[in-house]
Amino acid sequence: MTKFTVAAAMAAALMSSTAAMAAELEVTHWWTSGGESAAVAEFARLFDATGNKWVDSALAGSGTGANPVIISRILGGNPMGATQMNTGRDAEGLIQAGLIRDLTPIAEEEGWKEFYADPGLFDACTYEGKIYCVPVNIHSWHWLWLSTKAFETAGIPVPKDWNEYATAIPQLREAGVIPFGLAAGWPLNGIPGVLLADVGGPELYEKVWGEHDAEAVRSPEFRKVAEAWATIRDAVDPAEVVPQFGDVANQLIAGEAAANIHGDWIQGDLQVAGAVPGEDYECLPGLGLTQRIEGGGDAFYFPQLPEGTSQDVLDAQVELAKLLVSKEAQVAFNLKKGSMPIRTDIDLSTANPCMQKAIAILQSPEGLLPSGETLNSSDTQQQLDDLNQEFFADKSFSVDDYIEEYASIIESAN
């Protein structure tokens, strides 16, 4: 085994001399929850069926925990064969350093841009006109998940939008239901952006994150966003925060918690637990306030491997890149993960009602808003995350101070 943990499989030598050799390919990713694991297993199953071998290397901690490990390995000359990252700007430095494989020839040969539902997903993969990653799904933070059982306990109809839900919070608490289930750490970071686009509206979202207009932050519309964020903060008892978002899924099913704002990937965990949409839980894209949602995605990058790497391994990278966007892989993966596929020319008739809502938005010409990961630099996003964590942890942190500090960050955004 060389320093980089990618190797041609010796078993391939037993195959016909004219057949392509199989190769082992280490694949890193951060899909570790029940639903996510079930989804990535579909990619691995289909890759193994090609005769190659998917060597799974799951990293805990989602993007915030796994990204530094992935990046340090590539920078340190110990690259994996392929790795998941978000379709944001995290890999930009690696691309600039020449450490990521150029996939442009594969994209042109396979006609990727002809069947992608949102060609804009390639924007974050493109550097100086070349494509460096493969978007494999479209996911969105913009969902309000509601527990049917929790609202039955409180004697309240399941809300139809954020406003009805916010009004119900005192009654939920009085009935002994946790109003808002929350997992510790990174899940909190996604919520303010959802409120910006859905409570504030798509126009405000594009002004603040797209144009970095600080005066828009100081507007009455943004104050509603900040107040909604304070509503969630004040509804959460820190003692009720659970370790993982999968734990929140279990709280919703059990009726212990009434609601959660979280990405569509929580649906994978709800499915694994056997919960049925429309019976055990309800899902409201855009918090029930808008039919436009932010659409980001997961993507796979293929690091440049060291000189002397077997051609079979390099060929396996190409085979995996093609497979990830194949019709079969897109159906198998997204039905398990709960995310939207990157192509609309596949049969998703077996998708559940929540995913059908997502597909309808995807097919709308203006359904998807650009991902915040593509609009804000990593530095700007980190400053916003820090502010949001500080605001959430301190109930005496005023809305006025939050707005002004937020505006200051946006003023200096690049």
Per-residue three-class SS string for 106-158: HHHHHCHHHHECCHHHHHHHEECCEECEEECCEECCCEEEEEHHHHHHHCCCC
Q: Which pLDDT does position 93 carry in this prediction?
A: 87
Q: Which pLDDT does position 370 carry in this prediction?
A: 86
pLDDT tens, position by position, for the chain (414 residues)? 344 444 443 333 334 333 456 899 999 999 998 889 999 999 999 999 999 999 999 998 666 678 889 999 999 999 999 999 876 666 888 999 999 999 999 999 999 988 888 887 888 789 999 999 999 998 899 999 999 999 999 999 999 999 999 999 999 999 999 999 999 998 999 999 999 999 999 999 999 999 999 999 999 999 999 999 999 999 999 999 999 999 999 999 999 999 999 999 999 899 889 999 999 999 999 999 999 998 888 899 999 999 999 999 999 999 999 999 999 999 999 989 888 889 888 888 888 899 889 888 888 878 889 888 788 888 899 999 999 999 999 999 999 999 999 999 999 996
Half-sphere exposure of 325 toward its Cβ, with a 13 Å CA cutoff?
24
Q: Which pLDDT does position 12 carry in this prediction?
A: 38
Q: Answer positive or negative: Cα dihedral of 277, 280, 283, 288.
A: positive
Pick from 112, 66, 80: nearest CA to 317? 80
Strands 23-29 and 53-58: parallel
Residue 218 burial class via C-beta count within 10 angstroms: exposed 0-12, middle 13-18, buried 19 and up: middle
Q: Which pLDDT does position 86 carry in this prediction?
A: 74
Please give the torsion angle defined by the CA atoms of residues 364, 366, 369 and 370, in that order, rounded to the nearest 10 degrees. Answer: 100
Q: Are 406 and 225 in contact (CB under 8 A)?
A: no
Q: How many CB atoms lie within 10 A of CB 97?
A: 11
Q: Are 131 and 102 in contact (CB under 8 A)?
A: yes
Instruction: List Cβ neighbours of 32 (8 Å cut-off, separation of 6 or more).
Output: 58, 59, 60
Q: Which pLDDT does position 118 carry in this prediction?
A: 80
Beta bridge partner(s), residue 295: 370
Residue 67 burial class via C-beta count within 10 angstroms: exposed 0-12, middle 13-18, buried 19 and up: buried
Q: Are 283 and 145 in contact (CB under 8 A)?
A: yes
Q: How many CB atoms lie within 10 A of CB 403?
A: 18
Question: How many Å apart are CA 134 and CA 238, to the nearest integer?
Answer: 39
DSSP state of 4: S
Half-sphere exposure of 144 toward its Cβ, with a 13 Å CA cutoff?
28
Q: Which two tokens stand for residue 201?
A: 């509206």
pTM score: 0.82
Q: Which pLDDT does position 10 carry in this prediction?
A: 37
DSSP state of 10: G
Q: Which pLDDT does position 117 carry in this prediction?
A: 83
**In angstroms, what CA-CA distances link 381 with 87, 371, 377, 400, 409?**
14, 12, 6, 20, 9
DSSP per-residue string spanning 224-264: HHHHHHHHHHHH--GGG-BSSHHHHHHHHHHTSEEEEE--T
How open is the CA angle 347-353-355, to the nearest 5 degrees? Answer: 60
Question: How many Å apart are CA 190 and CA 198, to the nearest integer?
Answer: 13
Longest dimension (CA), the chain: 73
Helical residues (DSSP H) of 273-365, grouped into ranges: 311-324, 327-337, 353-363
Q: Are 313 and 301 in contact (CB under 8 A)?
A: no
